Chains A and B, each alone.
Chain A
């Protein structure tokens, strides 16, 4: 492979009609330097680096071979110029004809200082010419440490022709850093403007470092530019932080909403707080995992779509568990809501330990499908991540579906009627018991869907339900009994307040403050935000 490449490069170089007389003179001059004494050898090394930045494509290919040859001691100088010894035999550096070196030939020997120069030159040339991305990446790593001593447009040129996006971004970053430390103030100011266009914390550290630069004090224009860049970046970061907080709050609120909506429906209808709701979320996560594993074995090609396929499965499984729970246990407890707390807690204890015994306590491993991977950097450190977006979109869809179900279907009508007045609904012939059962199934199914939405962003283990249950209670208490609007507003409010307070005083303080606020709020509205109008009991 390498042999072919060498031959091809020589062939191109040899046939290149564009090779001017001036080019030939430069090449001869360079070879002369390389064959000279230690000082001129160093000049030769720098000239090679210069070619990497400025030379044409052919020039660079040629220089890359020479630099490699000098490093490997494969270059032999003689009276007629030099030959490169490759696996194809020894070739003349100018004509690329087969030619053996004359008797008194010698290879230039690199001292410690010159070796470093040539390694740099070789890396710079590899950055521009190497066909292999890994090699270019390695070259970039070598060069970025000494970026300031290299020709300024080397990285820019390399970034322009680079086709690997990750590498391209890195090259652009190095180019920017190099331009920032360039000797020319105009260039530095231009670089500052470019850096300020993409504000993030790294840019801020880069620009802040310039304050210590002597040029900052000496050159008022540069000083102005630096100050302007710092304030622009600061503003950008602040905007990004605010947006990131809102976004995180929104995604947290979505999860809270998903966890609480089922609870709110059940509580509104039967006055029963289902302490096993968190465990239904957990089971939703486990069923999602089982669906993923099943798809891995049956249809590995469609594995990425397991989150979508799992939606009906999760809903049906958790709804069935809920219906079973209602039929066996809660049916007998409607007149005793406090006992139903204990009963559902027993169920939660049972489910946690059942899952623990069956699956073990470790976190489940989920495949991250492409549609929840990565994100779009927006401004500052704010990245619009797809996995959070998935939770938000999922919550909005759930909200729409629940709303539709409650408002547009006969079941929803029955649920609302029983919620408002159970006895009266029974009197006019609504099958109250069956409505209860269906509603419990609905609430449980919604909890399962919350588990599904959590699977790509949260660790799924037997204990996970415990972390949501108290927060979702707070949502129900704040929002009021059995109202979807209340649940949405309360989830949104608690989510945002939590995320707003957390960076200031920590997660614990956020929880304490939210709880105190809810207790204070209940003084004002004991029935919650959106209580259904009715006789106060």
Chain B
């Protein structure tokens, strides 16, 4: 991997992200700049980009495909929704809808303390680390990998969805949770608050990008790529890949949960559909379309696909699944490294080559 200072494409992307963040910050204070609607869309895209980064870290740089990253995204979303509801209740005194629906007058005991953001954050980290740690440990220890791992993670997120659809769990059931009124003491519907949340998301995206880049540039990152390209050889050389994989897996899960915490306040609702296997598969699709094994690819893929999706869901909702499946087939057959291939094609060979090969071997 190139040193950070000479990685022009990455620096360009980082600069673009920071510029958008700056534009949003300006829009908070002044009447010029972006509208609340547009800012909200940008904020959601930034949350998805963070989510794509988390998957790219484990898939693109360690070769482990998770089709259940929606689970951690969902945990982050649920935790922040619990915090917002509890906080809103403490400020406005209005009992949340799902409790009225269940006929409860007070919160279940495990909601205690969620009014404090730091406690919620700590709970999120604890739950995510517990689930990802235990699951990762048992899977990697028995060397479950490749397609097996992908399928089992998908079953995991599916089961979590079924669990959350139940109404008696105290997490909103099939209606989910909505009606957040206050965030950090500010009314959530205020234009400046919406823009501020979007600015926060874009800033977090920038920080995650930089953090991931620094991790990958370090010795640890070199080990990751070595494990991806030939794990057996790395093990033979005496490196313990279990610990390596486990650390990256847990880190990736934490970043996905962070994305969920950014996403839910901006859409104002969470329900179990967030845990549907389709969303988890879609994350992999964003990364594959953008370019797996490239931080830039993950961000661009997530932003592009979701921007088109936002636009088409309004314009031609029937068309979207066909376009998405067409895009996937195109990426899979013609551009094995996603849009990154397109960029290279233009730079290296103006006339193009017929068949591109995958940069990262999958079968060992």
Contact = CB atoms under 8 A, between A and B. Distances in A.
Interface in A277-334: 329, 332-333
Contacts, number: 127
A336 B147 CA distance: 10
A338 B332 contact: no
7 contacts: A272-B147, A273-B151, A332-B332, A343-B332, A350-B322, A508-B159, A520-B138
Interface stretch (B254-262, B280-288, B341-349): B280-288
Given A350-B325, A473-B155, A338 B65 contact: yes
B338 to A, nearest CB: 11
Name which of B135, B155, B285, B321 has the most chain A CB atoms within 10 A of its CB: B155
A536 to B, nearest CB: 8
Given A272-B147, A338-B59, 7 more contacts: A271-B147, A329-B333, A337-B147, A342-B284, A346-B332, A349-B324, A508-B159
B277 interface: yes
A274 B318 CA distance: 24
Interface in A341-370: 341-343, 345-347, 349-350, 352-353, 357
Interface in B284-322: 284-285, 288, 318, 321-322
Contact of B329 (A337, A346, A352): A346
Interface stretch (A126-134, A248-256, A374-382, A511-519): A511-519
Contacts of A512: 159, 162-163
A80 interface: no
A339 B336 contact: yes
A526 interface: yes
Interface in B45-65: 59, 65
Interface string B136-177: 001101111011101110111011001101100000000000
Given A352-B321, A353-B322, A512-B163, A339 B155 contact: no
Given A470-B277, A519-B138, A338 B324 contact: no
A145 interface: no
Contacts of A341: 65, 67, 147, 150, 284
A339 B141 CA distance: 24
Contacts of B218: none
B129 to A, nearest CB: 18
B362 interface: yes
Interface string A65-85: 000000000000000000000
Contacts of B2: none
Contact of B138 (A273, A339, A523): A523
Contacts of B353: none
B141 A511 contact: no
A470 B322 contact: no
A3 interface: no
B328 A537 contact: no
- The 5 A-B pairs with the shortest beta carbon distances in the complex, nearest first, are A346-B328, A346-B325, A350-B325, A353-B321, A526-B142
Given A339-B336, A346-B332, A522-B144, A477 B284 contact: no
Nearest to A334: B363
A523 B328 CA distance: 34
A439 B67 CA distance: 26
Contacts of A508: 159, 162-163, 165-166
Contacts of A338: 59, 65, 146-147, 150, 362
B46 to A, nearest CB: 24
Given A329-B332, A511-B162, A519-B152, A526 B321 contact: no
Q: Which applies to chain B's interface (DSSP): helix, strand, loop or mixed? A: helix
B40 to A, nearest CB: 27
Contacts of A526: 142-144
B142 A342 contact: no
Q: Which applies to chain A's interface (DSSP): helix, strand, loop or mixed? A: helix
Name which of A347, A349, A537 has the most chain B CB atoms within 10 A of its CB: A349
Nearest to A337: B147
B155 A470 contact: yes
Contacts of B318: 353, 357
A335 interface: yes
B152 A477 contact: yes
Nearest to A471: B155
Nearest to B150: A341
A333 B144 CA distance: 21
A519 B135 contact: yes
Nearest to B288: A342
Name which of B65, B148, B284, B362 has the most chain A CB atoms within 10 A of its CB: B148
Contacts of A123: none
A519 B131 CA distance: 13
A177 interface: no
Name which of A346, A350, A518, A522 has the most chain B CB atoms within 10 A of its CB: A346
A523 B318 CA distance: 44
A267 B273 CA distance: 29
A474 interface: yes
B67 A477 contact: no
B147 A342 contact: no
B91 to A, nearest CB: 34
B363 A336 contact: yes
Nearest to B327: A346
A353 B278 CA distance: 14
A332 B336 CA distance: 11
B354 interface: no
A454 B325 CA distance: 27
A338 to B, nearest CB: 5
Contacts of B361: 335
A332 B325 CA distance: 17
A329 B329 contact: yes
Nearest to B355: A332
Contacts of B324: 346, 349
B278 to A, nearest CB: 8
Contact of A347 (B65, B288, B325): B325
A518 B155 CA distance: 11
B219 interface: no
Interface string A241-281: 00000000000000000000000000100011101000000
B327 to A, nearest CB: 8
Contacts of B288: 339, 342
B285 A342 contact: yes
